[in-house]
Amino acid sequence: MSGGIKITDTEMKYIALFESISEANVKDCIVDEEQGRVIFVVKEGDLGAAIGKGGKNIRILEKITGKKLEVIEYSEDPVKFIKNTLKPAEVREVRITERADGKTLAVVMVDPKFKGIAIGKNGRNAERLRFLVKRYFQIQNVSIL
């Protein structure tokens, strides 16, 4: 996680609650009031512990918080992180390029059957992806093809 990332008191409380129930190591938490969700980014390898057997931890936490929870497994590799963020969509290829003006862009090719899942209802999954890759990897834009 970059040193410039700020976590609010509310997000810190969600992290403490999540870690106490799941025993997963949470790297980041984003409260998305507009979409009525809380996004947790967990340490690489902790996704199973975060979700719990049969999704038990998620169900408990959603009941306590009254919000939809989304859990993403972190990776220092931006290509792997992009794939993790779009699961269960099948990502065929990710190309990250730096333009002449210094901006970094990512183009993500998904299997056509999974394009709707990758983009999400009203673009919510694409929006989440753009927000997170900008937050961690300074990738300014992502196109999903």
pLDDT in the model for residue 2: 45
Give the type of residue at 109: M
Ranges of beta strands (E only) in 7-124 are 26-32, 37-42, 68-73, 91-98, 104-110
Q: Is the per-residue pLDDT at 1 higher than 60? A: no
Q: Please give the mean pLDDT across all residues of the chain.
A: 94
Alpha-carbon distance 128 to 144, whole Å? 12
- Is 38 in the same domain as 82? no
Give the pTM.
0.91
Average pLDDT of the segment spanning 100-114: 95
Count of the separate structural domains present in the chain = 2
Residue pair 26/18 in contact by the 8 Å Cβ criterion: yes
CA–CA separation, 84 and 125 (whole Å): 12
The answer to whether 50 and 24 are in contact (CB under 8 A) is yes
pLDDT at 67: 94
Residues 20 and 66 in one domain: yes
pLDDT range class, residue 3, cuts 50, 70, 90 = low
Lookup result for tokens 């403490």: 16
CB contact set of 104 (below 8 Å; sequence gap of 6+): 96, 97, 98, 137, 138, 139, 140
Are residues 137 and 88 part of one domain?
A: yes
- Among 57, 73, 89, identify where a domain stops: 73
CATH number at residue 134: 3.30.300.20
Identify the pLDDT of residue 6.
85
Same domain (yes/no): 61, 98:
no
* Residue range 74-81: mean pLDDT, rounded: 98
Mean pLDDT of 14-39: 95
Print the domain residue range for 17. 9-73
